[in-house]
Amino acid sequence: MAEKNYTLSDFHYDLPDERIAQEPAHPRDHARLLVYNRATDAITDDYFYNILEYLPKQTTLVVNNSKVEKCRLLFEDGKKEIFILDARNDTTVKTMVRPGKKFKEGQTVDVTDQISATVLHIDEEGLRTLKMDPPLSSSIYDQYKRTPFPPYIEQNEALSDEYQTIYAQPPGSKAAPTAGLHFTQDLWQEIGAAGINQEKVTLHVGLGTFAPVKDSITDHTMHEEWYKLHKSTAQALNESSHITAVGTTSVRVLESNKMHHAVFKAEERATDIFIKPGYQFNAVDALITNFHLPKSTLLMLVAAFMGYDEMRRVYDHAVKQNYRFYSFGDGMLIL
């Protein structure tokens, strides 16, 4: 049967503001867990600390270990902002800026008495390439660095550590791989002790993950994001009979890698894979994820994995059952 041509409005749903989590559950693994079984269409309501009761015993759990960078530079109590998307070297950066009208091409903007930014280029999306003075390695920037919480979360630097997974290592992400935020050290060790293999990949979360779909799903192009898959991980995955991806970013690494090589293979490369309904999964058998924003590429990936109609039914259930949504919200396991 031919796949429906979905429009952006097909991925809209109404969510009361009070359902948007402003901080994580404490402890983290006390977040709620919705378990959806694709074989039976059954929905089970539980808590994340019980996830071992649902994970297949033979599965390999794959997480994204990228660490969130403090890439927001806020000046004048937030009146000026430079959000660093990519540092090409110690002085040249690709950024989002605010207010845009102050950052005109060719101009040098004094953001403080000690820091200036020269606008080298403005691309078609309004992203600025800036030359920073002094270099970014200067300690002068430290007082202006902030955690890049998404706009629907009240900016609270006290929650900075909560916006990192327990296994975060290489810095590079502009947003957290949030499905992994539910793991505590105790739960992580419990899962390993149960004999479930745990593997790590790295995808540095950037615009590819959180850039909105503006017009047409068909015409949407994902921004490239860099990923790394180690040789030992590739070998373990090739030997696995079942793979559970933790988060949509892990899915994108695994599916991209296997698409290029037919088997898992060690590599470092960029991916712009856009997974939406109609996509045939080749690498992932189960998925742990959060509840995502309407009209987002993340929601489209989930709809591709569980089926569009079932996604609508499950999200309707989650709203009615008062699940907490988005980055600090509750989790879902799709089997």
pLDDT at 1 over 60: no
**Cα Rg for the chain, rounded, in angstroms?**
20
pLDDT value at residue 211: 77
Mean pLDDT of 137-154: 95
Residue 246: strand, helix, or coil: strand
Domain boundaries, the chain: 8-68+156-334, 72-146
Q: What dotted CATH number matches 8-68+156-334?
A: 3.40.1780.10
pLDDT at 96 over 80: yes
Tokens of 75: 């000046």
Query: What is the model's pTM?
Result: 0.94
Residue 130: strand, helix, or coil: strand
Note whether 117 and 82 are within 8 A (CB). Answer: yes
pLDDT at 101 over 50: yes
Lowest mean pLDDT among 45-49, 121-125, 131-135: 121-125
Instruction: For residue 232, give the DSSP letter.
Output: H
pLDDT value at residue 216: 83
Assign domain 72-146 to a CATH class: mainly beta
32 — pLDDT class (breaks 50, 70, 90): very high
Nearest to 179 by CA among 63, 100, 295, 274: 63
* Averaged pLDDT of the chain: 95
pLDDT tens column, 155-184: 899 999 999 999 999 999 999 999 999 999
Compute φ and ψ for 79, nearest 5 degrees: -70, -30
248 — pLDDT class (breaks 50, 70, 90): very high
pLDDT value at residue 94: 95
Residues 103 and 109: their CA atoms lie apart, in Å, by: 7
The angle formed by the CA atoms of residues 250, 31 and 174, to the nearest 5 degrees, is 40
pLDDT value at residue 215: 77
Q: At what angle do helices 248-261 and 297-306 cross, to 10 degrees?
A: 70
pLDDT at 264 over 60: yes
pLDDT value at residue 3: 61
Residues 6+ positions from 245 with CB-CB distance below 8 Å: 62, 251, 254, 284, 286, 287, 288
pLDDT value at residue 2: 47
pLDDT at 20 over 50: yes
pLDDT at 207 over 90: no
* Integer angstrom CA distances of residue 131 from 68, 82, 116: 23, 12, 8
